[in-house]
């Protein structure tokens, strides 16, 4: 589905993905926004578009040097620009430099079981003037990032930077070059070094690994740079074909090995043969050669080995009983190997393996985390499938992010437990206007409380209330759901925002913007389109408070999701902690500084989700319909955005007048949820059909998973 350019006679065009004509009031609201002089390029309307305050819900507005508080509402982790990222080409790049590359590149990522793989990634500027912390590791590396950025722990789980403590073990990333220039990567799950080009190949980035009849499969570096492991620089070959190719280059006086290289190659073979892995490799190769020789020249073989045992027996016995033989046996039994992590000498290969595993646990540890007194623009990577990437500092970190997680459970485990699960959720997570009776440690330790005194004076009496509401659902269209996808996999999903404190902050700044508009005599088409100009104190104050509220909203979802996950683990895993198969976290009702059409603009997504290339997002239906996990296609005309849900067909009051309680019961059949008058305004019939909404944005996103809820908790 492509967009439609609406005929609204405005200075700035309006592009609509709604697939239907706008109503009179909707057209007026779109026209009002598109008439503002600082709107950039055009206004984009998503498929779920409907009436809102100031601007349509489901609209994306890019502006130059101005922001409209009422057009945002409030609902949303990263590294400073010089953070170095290792790529498979053997070089390190500042993350800011990668953000300027308009293409994918290959990084190292890690599975929850500690297996390092190669994966495609893109980099992006994620926040302007973000607060920072510094994480210092035991290898003296320092990492400067936002407090909420998640680090991968040694057990494959994640923890935010601000919650790391001294001694915390992190998933390690060790790399080095061998004497021939090949990149080696230490695998955390086995403590063994593996050649990076085979990691790339086994990650599926070169297609299926071929088999060559009668030959061992090897990988050739096309540019003869052994550390450059980009997939397009690697080529599968049979080992004999590979050797023949290099010999042909020598014969044509082309670049390959000189006599010096050949001597180094032979020395490397001899050294490899001294290692357990090399010994096993050459023993197997020798066995294969002997068997082939026995098959092809059986008579010659029999003649060659005649009386071998008798002829060699006396020499072998004599050598073993000699001083030289005894010394050699003792030397082999007591041979020491150097630990590449700490440099200590350890007896035997098995001893070295055990030393790495139990002494170092093959990790890096945190020394300390300190809060920095300055802000900076920050960047992050989007890494497909694995959602983490390695830093040059030697650790793996999560890439950025309604909330949804895919759990390692099948739907049949839910049978007979749905009502108990819903009641437990409602007991653990306050809804509506309710607050937490007890404030947990994760809430009181939230680092952004330190900035509360800098917020608008109009909210200074709300700190206690804000603290008690952190980790609560609220009302309206907010929800907590247990879902099942078409593969019968269990998902957890929730939608909530910045609660009362976000609403109060927005109201304070909206009133300030309106007062300024009156003083300036601005003739606005709608008072709710009052705005702040960049560079003014009012703009800076609003932008600061908006960032704080967006951090609050994210933390609110994180706290609830942690409780939600524990409830599901209680019922489906006997309380055992599990690792999600996929995590998605996205914001809507927010503004961010981004680059579009080559210019930096402020993008306001009101009831819309960012859908840059390969961004994961959530598009939920109503409480009886399907929901979708999606991946963005990076559509430039939509400012890389998509809808955040189905969108309302009826207002809340009208829904209550049109539908009855019997309608609600019928439309939510098969869903364990409240079925009373207080949630009648959330009946599925009050929303647009989600399938229709999805059909209108096939150029914006691709569907990753289709979900159907079986438990729904509303405020």
Query: Which DSSP string do the residues of 550-602 spell out, in sequence order?
Result: HHHHHHHHHHHHHHHHHHHHHHHSTT-----SEEEE---SEEEEEEETTEEEE
pLDDT digits (tens, 9 = 90+) for 63-115: 999 999 877 654 434 789 999 999 999 999 999 999 888 778 999 999 878 89
pLDDT at 551 over 60: yes
CA distances from 355 to 8, 69, 317, 343, 349 (A): 72, 58, 36, 11, 10
Using the 8-state DSSP alphabet, how is residue 429 labeled?
S
Average pLDDT over residues 424-452: 90
Q: Which pLDDT does position 296 carry in this prediction? A: 64
Top pLDDT among 359 and 187 is at 187
Please state, in angstroms and rounded to a whole number, the distance separating the CA atoms of residues 158 and 183.
27
Lowest mean pLDDT segment, chosen from 242-246, 586-590, 643-647, 711-715: 586-590
| Rounded Cα–Cα distance for residues 503 and 549 (Å) | 9
Instruction: Check: CB of residue 388 under 8 Å from CB of residue 152.
Output: yes
Bridge partners of 649, per DSSP, are none
Check the CA dihedral 414-416-422-427 and report its sign.
negative
- pTM score of the predicted model: 0.59
Residues 6+ apart with CB under 8 A from 384: 119, 120, 121, 614
Structure confidence at residue 255 as a pLDDT band (50, 70, 90): very low
pLDDT at 627: 93
The DSSP code sequence of 309-320 is HHHHHHHHHHHH
Q: How far apart are CA 233 and CA 419, in angstroms?
A: 56
Q: How large is the average pLDDT for residues 204-223?
A: 93
Q: Say if residue 675's pLDDT is above 50.
A: yes
Most confidently modeled range among 271-285, 334-348, 363-377: 363-377
What CATH number was assigned to the domain covering residues 93-172+363-391? Answer: 2.170.16.10
Of 383, 478, 517, the closest CA to residue 108 belongs to: 383
Place of tokens 């073990």: 169
Give me the pLDDT at residue 325, please.
75
Question: Which range has the worst mean pLDDT, 68-82, 149-163, 319-333, 472-486?
Answer: 68-82
State the average pLDDT over residues 629-646: 93
Asked if residue 629 has pLDDT above 70, the reply is: yes
pLDDT digits (tens, 9 = 90+) for 580-592: 888 888 877 788 8
Q: How far apart are CA 105 and CA 89, in angstroms?
A: 9
DSSP tag of 357? I
Output the DSSP codes for 144-173. Answer: EE-TTPEEEBTTS-EEEGGG--TT-EE-B-
Q: What backbone torsions phi and psi does residue 597 show, to the nearest 5 degrees?
A: 50, 35
Residue 461 pLDDT more than 70? yes
Please report, rounded to a whole number, the percentage of residues in the chain having pLDDT higher than 70: 89
Residue count of the chain: 715
pLDDT mean over 316-323? 77
DSSP for 57-87 reads EEEEEEESSEE-GGGT------EETT-EEEB
Angle between helices 499-520 and 537-572 (to 10 degrees): 160
At 502, the pLDDT band (50, 70, 90 cuts) reads confident
Residue 118: enclosing H or E segment and its boundaries?
A: strand 116-137
pLDDT band at 304 (very low <50, low <70, confident <90, very high): low
What is the structure's pLDDT at 69?
87
Name the band, by pLDDT with cuts 50, 70 and 90, for residue 323.
Answer: confident
Query: Is pLDDT of 147 > 50?
Result: yes
Hey, where are the domains in the chain? Answer: 4-76+400-649+687-714, 93-172+363-391
What pLDDT is stored for residue 305 in this prediction?
62
Distance CA 701, CA 697 (A): 6
CB 111 within 8 A of CB 121: no
- In angstroms, the CA 377 to CA 130 distance is 6
∠ CA 700-706-709, nearest 5°, is 125
- How many helices (H) and strands (E) would you count in the chain? 18, 37
Q: What is the per-residue pLDDT across 676-688, written as a single tens digit (0 to 9) for each?
A: 888 898 899 999 9
pLDDT over threshold 70, residue 299: no
Contact residues for 450 (Cβ-Cβ < 8 A; gap 6+): 371
Supply 198's token pair.
């085979």
CA-to-CA distance for 705 and 433, rounded, in angstroms?
Answer: 33
Chain center to CA of 562: 18
Does the annotation count 456 as an active-site position?
Answer: no
690 half-sphere exposure, CB direction, 13 A CA radius: 20
- Report which DSSP code applies to 659: -
Nearest to 512 by CA among 460, 592, 457: 457
Token output for 206: 């070169």
- pLDDT of 256 > 60? The answer is no
**pLDDT-derived band at 251, boundaries 50, 70, 90:** low
pLDDT, residue 75, reads: 41
Location of structure tokens 């390690």: 172
Task: Compute the distance between CA of residue 564 and CA of residue 417 in angstroms, rounded to an integer.
Answer: 15
Token pair of 530 as six digits? 């009052």
Higher pLDDT pick, 333 / 711: 711
Neighbours of 267 (CB within 10 A): 11
CATH class of 4-76+400-649+687-714: alpha beta
Instruction: Return the ∠ at Cα 137 (arms to 131 and 139), rounded to 5°.
Output: 140
């Amino acid at each position: 589905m492509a967009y439609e350019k609406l005929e609204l006679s405005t200075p700035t065009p309006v592009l609509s993905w709604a697939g239907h004509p706008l109503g009179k009031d909707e057209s007026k609201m779109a026209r009002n926004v598109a008439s503002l002089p600082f709107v950039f390029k055009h206004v984009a309307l998503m498929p779920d578009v409907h009436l809102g305050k100031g601007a349509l819900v489901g609209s994306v507005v890019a502006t130059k040097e101005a922001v409209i508080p009422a057009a945002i509402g409030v609902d949303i982790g990263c590294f400073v620009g010089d953070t170095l990222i290792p790529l498979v080409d053997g070089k390190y790049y500042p993350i800011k430099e990668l953000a300027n590359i308009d293409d994918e590149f290959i990084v190292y990522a890690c599975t929850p079981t500690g297996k390092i793989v190669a994966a495609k990634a893109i980099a992006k500027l994620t926040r302007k003037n973000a607060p920072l912390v510094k994480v210092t590791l035991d290898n003296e590396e320092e990492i400067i990032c936002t407090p909420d950025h998640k680090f991968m722990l040694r057990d494959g789980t994640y923890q935010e930077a601000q919650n790391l403590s001294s001694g915390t073990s992190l998933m390690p990333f060790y790399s080095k070059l061998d004497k021939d220039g090949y990149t080696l990567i230490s695998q955390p799950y086995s403590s063994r070094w593996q050649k990076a080009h085979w990691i790339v190949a086994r990650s599926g980035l070169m297609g299926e690994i071929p088999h060559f009849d009668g030959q061992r499969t090897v990988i050739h570096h096309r540019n003869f740079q052994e550390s450059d492991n980009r997939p397009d620089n690697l080529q599968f070959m049979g080992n004999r074909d590979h050797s023949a190719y290099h010999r042909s280059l020598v014969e044509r006086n082309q670049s390959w090995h000189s006599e010096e290289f050949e001597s180094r190659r032979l020395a490397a073979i001899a050294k490899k043969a001294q290692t357990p892995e090399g010994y096993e490799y050459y023993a197997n190769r020798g066995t294969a050669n002997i068997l082939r020789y026995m098959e092809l020249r059986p008579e010659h073989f029999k003649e060659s080995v005649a009386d071998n045992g008798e002829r060699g027996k006396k020499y072998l016995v004599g050598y073993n009983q000699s001083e030289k033989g005894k010394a050699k046996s003792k030397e082999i039994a007591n041979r020491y190997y150097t630990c590449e992590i700490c440099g200590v000498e350890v007896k035997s290969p098995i001893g070295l393996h055990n030393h790495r595993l139990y002494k170092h646990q093959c990790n890096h540890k945190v020394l300390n985390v300190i809060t920095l007194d300055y802000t900076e623009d920050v960047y992050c990577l989007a890494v497909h499938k694995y959602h983490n990437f390695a830093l040059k500092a030697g650790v793996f970190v999560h890439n950025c992010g309604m909330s949804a997680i895919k759990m390692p459970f099948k739907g049949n485990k839910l049978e007979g437990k749905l009502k108990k699960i819903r009641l437990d959720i409602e007991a653990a997570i306050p809804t509506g206007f309710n607050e937490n009776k007890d404030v947990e440690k994760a809430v009181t330790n939230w680092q952004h409380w330190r900035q509360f005194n800098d917020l608008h004076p109009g909210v200074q009496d709300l700190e206690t209330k804000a603290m008690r509401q952190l980790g609560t659902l609220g009302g309206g269209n907010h929800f907590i759901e247990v879902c099942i996808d078409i593969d019968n996999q269990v998902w957890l999903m929730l939608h909530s925002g910045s609660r009362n404190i976000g609403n109060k902050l927005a109201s304070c700044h909206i009133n300030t913007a309106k007062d300024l508009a009156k003083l300036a005599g601005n003739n606005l088409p709608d008072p709710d389109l009052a705005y702040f100009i960049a560079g003014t104190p009012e703009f800076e104050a609003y932008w600061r408070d908006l960032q704080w509220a967006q951090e609050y909203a994210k933390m609110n979802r994180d706290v609830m999701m942690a409780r939600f996950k524990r409830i599901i683990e209680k019922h489906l895993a006997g309380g055992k902690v599990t690792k999600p198969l996929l995590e998605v976290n996205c914001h809507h009702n927010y503004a961010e500084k981004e680059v579009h059409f080559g210019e930096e603009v402020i993008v306001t997504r009101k009831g819309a989700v960012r859908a840059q290339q390969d961004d994961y997002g959530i598009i939920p239906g109503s409480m009886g319909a399907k929901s979708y996990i999606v991946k963005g296609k990076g559509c430039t005309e939509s400012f890389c955005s998509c809808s955040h849900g189905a969108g309302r067909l009826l207002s809340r009051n009208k829904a209550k007048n049109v539908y009855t309680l019997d309608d609600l019961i019928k439309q939510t059949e098969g869903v364990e949820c409240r079925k009373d008058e207080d949630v009648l305004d959330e009946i599925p019939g009050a929303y647009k059909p989600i399938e229709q909404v999805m059909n209108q944005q096939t150029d914006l996103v691709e569907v990753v998973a289709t979900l159907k809820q079986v438990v729904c908790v509303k405020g």
